Structure 1
Amino acid sequence: MVNSADSEVAAPELRDFGGGPFGVYIHVPFCATRCGYCDFNTYTAGELGTSASPQSWFEALKGELAAAATAFDALPTPTPEVATVFVGGGTPSLLGGDGLAGVLDAIRANFALAADAEVTTESNPESTSPEFFARLRAAGYTRVSLGMQSAAAHVLRVLDRTHTPGRAAAAARQARAAGFDHVNLDLIYGTPGERDEDLDASLDAVLEAGVDHVSAYSLIVEDGTALARRVRRGELPAPDDDVLAARYERIDARLTAAGLTWYEVSNWAAGTAARCRHNLGYWDGGDWLGAGPGAHSHLGGVRWWNVKHPARYADRIARGGLPAAGWEVLTAEERHTERVMLAVRLSSGLPLGELAEDEARAAERVIGDGLAARAGARLVLTDRGRLLADNVVRQLLVP
């Protein structure tokens, strides 16, 4: 059942920690400009006016972290060390190196950070520099994820991206020079007007930058975005499924040949150490605290989400407690559904023993269709199955 709160400060019905790794996600809701394809909970300075600022957000964030730590301390199970931190958005790099160092200090002030914690921040290439990366390393960040999308100028224009071609790869090289062993570049493929040679140029740039992780996502036209309006008006064609499949195969072939292997349908890494441990925590059904406007959290089968607007978020914190807009206690069936949906997408696969009898029969059909194979006692997608991962999930859950 989903619970919601209107005028009152809401707090979820917290349960004990699940025993797995515990992560912290920080949502930075600020962007310099709005990309045409983006439907994330982000705001430009013009959209916010004087209602909120990075300073008011940071003060509220510190309040939320303190309130969450107090609530967790009241649980019978001790709060585990924070194994992973991920600062996302929005554009966290707009906070600057000192601002991001302050975010990590605020986490340390309220939670015990594991000695080997993975600490990641997303960054826009245009708001980074060698000095920025050096400050992050000194603060304790271990991983950087940079939004590249494409190396083709005309593709970036369609996406309303502000960085110049080549800047993302240059930023990745600067991050590596500053001492970051783990650097990710994000790609988006299937943008209207993108050609095979544009994608090849993007992959060339990624590989020349020497990063150890690549995320590649097919363009999705989200309702309510500027891109959706352009497609609806006929200014741009909608992404073509056959083109998207061909582009995915092209990406996978190039990255695999370069030594980056898939470990989740949209993610490739140069070895186990290069995988994003924070995201694996999501995909493996772990526990995490999401702090910041609109952030989602999960603890012991309870999920809650914060109010979205930064001004309302700060007001909730000022009145005390957690700024939850609503929460839900997941049923055993819901947790199983999520487990299947997420585990199927991983290269480690889904344990066949976790499937109900009718789901196991569906798994046999999926194997017979060549969409998955047995890897010991696990169901693992084939190359063709990765292209149809959502279809595989539907077959398993609706036999």
Structure 2
Amino acid sequence: MPGPAPEGEPVPSDGSLPDSALRDVGGRGFGVYVHVPFCASRCGYCDFNTYTASELGGGASREGYADAVLAELKLAASVTGAPVDTVFVGGGTPTLLDPADLGRILEGIDQTWGLAAGAEITTEANPESVTPRSLQALRKAGYTRISLGMQSAAPAVLQILERRHTAGRAPQAAIEAREAGFDHVNLDLIYGTPGETPEDFERSLAAVLDAGVDHVSAYSLIVEDGTRMAARMRRGELPYPEDDVAADRYLAAEAALGGAGFSWYEVSNWATTPDARCRHNLLYWTGGDWWGLGPGAHSHVGGVRWWNVKHPAAYAKRVEAGLSPGQGREILTDEDRHVEDVMLRVRLREGLPLTALDASGLTGAVRALADGLLDPAAYEAGRVVLTLRGRLLADAVIRDLLP
């Protein structure tokens, strides 16, 4: 089940923001995230804010969801905004909604703030939740990019993860998305699942490459408290993931993807060209502004971060009453923003300027350089850029660069 919401100060009932947050909205880009909290079933490793039909209870439904999001948009329009550079519809499984509803949401965003020319419009999807016909409808509605949750091409691994699709469905859905006219197609992989063999992961990488996608995300399995997988591990039914195995899988991904013409641009993300990079995620990683719509969605504008109530019924009740669905917020200090800037930008291929580090961070950078974790040429040019070994130890490098 979803975990508890963070602590924070109350959000004004009208969602208003401090004047300081509104001075340069969109100066680093403005995006919209739409959270769709519905899933047909819950995967054993998932602790996202999602709900199956049996978990929803009264007061919320898929059928009325687009109207609730449009009601929040009406409120948001009175608070702030800028031309929208990116839209990302995530979940959950957004494609459990009718393509017409996803189109209505996108139209509402355009009417509220306006979509910038060439805006990137992404939806996530589970492979079994789309068909050639639905993909064509989504493309016609204006979606330009799709991210499909493949996770693995090994049936045994999919079973442990409690995924519903067959091993071949995700690559086939990627091909169908290309045929429907999507500009960019991503496949997500998870590696390090208990029982996964090196050969399993090699098959997954080969399947991704055969699908002809232009973007791949590959993440090490993280076992979150409160999930069924965590419970199985505590009972000894499954072994815990091993760091050495995860490192081997990452190196295999880099070798296979790099050999096929992909380049890493963030530690867990590869693209065939700069245009294929996920611009919405880059907005997050480089300190842009975004408004999060939907239950549990997080937003950030001008150094103010807030999050919505998590349950769809509570969310719908508040927006229908014309009230902000925000449950809490925090105003980031300069130190908070510095820490987040270092944490996120060090993971990027472009890295971080040395001038962004304080004295202790510069000392840490010298140590990381000596340990072979930073690129010497980039360092000489005044930037902190991870080497391949540095990517394997990115969290440790980041800790060493912070006070």
When normalised by structure 2's length, the TM-score is: 0.95
- 1:42 matched to 2:47: no
Q: Which residue does the alignment assign to 1:387?
A: 392
Please give the residue correspondences for 1:139-218 in structure 2 after superposition, counting only pairs within 5 Å. Answer: 139-218=141-220
Relative to 1, partners in 2 of residues 1:302 and 1:332: Cα closer, same or farther, differing over 3 Å? Answer: same
Secondary structure of the structure 1 residue equivalent to 2:64 = helix
Q: Which structure 1 segments of 5+ residues have no match?
A: 73-78
Contact 1:347 1:380 in 2 (8 A): yes
Q: Which residue does the alignment assign to 1:62?
A: 70
Contact 2:66 2:102 in 1 (8 A): no
Secondary structure of the structure 1 residue equivalent to 2:223 = coil
Alpha-carbon distance, 1:110 to partner? 1.1
Alpha-carbon distance, 1:370 to partner? 0.7
Alpha-carbon distance, 1:54 to partner? 1.3
Alpha-carbon distance, 1:238 to partner? 0.3
Alpha-carbon distance, 1:38 to partner? 0.3
Separation in 2, partners of 1:94, 1:3? 32
What's the CA shift string for 1:110-167, capped at 9, x where partnerless? 1110120000000111011111111111111110000000001110000000001100
Aligned residue pair count: 391
Q: Which residue does the alignment assign to 1:235?
A: 237
Q: Which residue does the alignment assign to 2:362?
A: 360
Contact 2:265 2:350 in 1 (8 A): yes
What's the CA shift string for 1:66-110, capped at 9, x where partnerless? 1001111xxxxxx32100000000000101322211221121221
Q: Which residue does the alignment assign to 1:75?
A: none
When normalised by structure 1's length, the TM-score is: 0.96
Separation in 1, partners of 2:40, 2:79? 34
Contact 2:14 2:75 in 1 (8 A): no
Separation in 2, partners of 1:230, 1:343? 35
Please give the residue correspondences for 1:14-25 in structure 2 after superposition, counting only pairs within 5 Å. Answer: 14=18, 15-16=21-22, 17=25, 19-25=27-33
Q: Which residue does the alignment assign to 2:401?
A: 396
The correspondence for 1:31, drawn from 39, 46, 62, is 39
Secondary structure of the structure 2 residue equivalent to 1:54 = coil
The percentage of counterpart residues that share the same residue type is 60
Q: What amino acid is aligned across from residue 120 of structure 1 in structure 2? A: T
Separation in 1, partners of 2:179, 2:155? 26
- 1:127 matched to 2:143: no
Q: What amino acid is aligned across from residue 27 of structure 2 in structure 1? A: G
Q: Which residue does the alignment assign to 2:348?
A: 346
Q: What amino acid is aligned across from residue 38 of structure 2 in structure 1? A: F
Secondary structure of the structure 2 residue equivalent to 1:55 = coil
- 1:11 matched to 2:29: no
Separation in 1, partners of 2:136, 2:170? 17
Contact 1:26 1:86 in 2 (8 A): yes
Q: What amino acid is aligned across from residue 59 of structure 2 in structure 1? A: S
Separation in 1, partners of 2:8, 2:221? 33
Q: What amino acid is aligned across from residue 218 of structure 1 in structure 2? A: S
Separation in 2, partners of 1:230, 1:358? 42
Larger displacement relative to structure 2 (187-196 or 370-379) = 370-379
Alpha-carbon distance, 1:58 to partner? 1.9
Alpha-carbon distance, 1:217 to partner? 0.3
Separation in 1, partners of 2:8, 2:268? 32
Q: Which residue does the alignment assign to 1:71?
A: 79
Q: Which residue does the alignment assign to 1:320?
A: 322
Contact 1:10 1:323 in 2 (8 A): no
What's the CA shift string for 1:245-264, capped at 9, x where partnerless? 00100011100000011000
Secondary structure of the structure 2 residue equivalent to 1:305 = strand
Alpha-carbon distance, 1:12 to partner? 5.2
Q: What amino acid is aligned across from residue 78 of structure 2 in structure 1? A: T
Contact 1:305 1:326 in 2 (8 A): yes
Q: Which residue does the alignment assign to 2:59?
A: 51
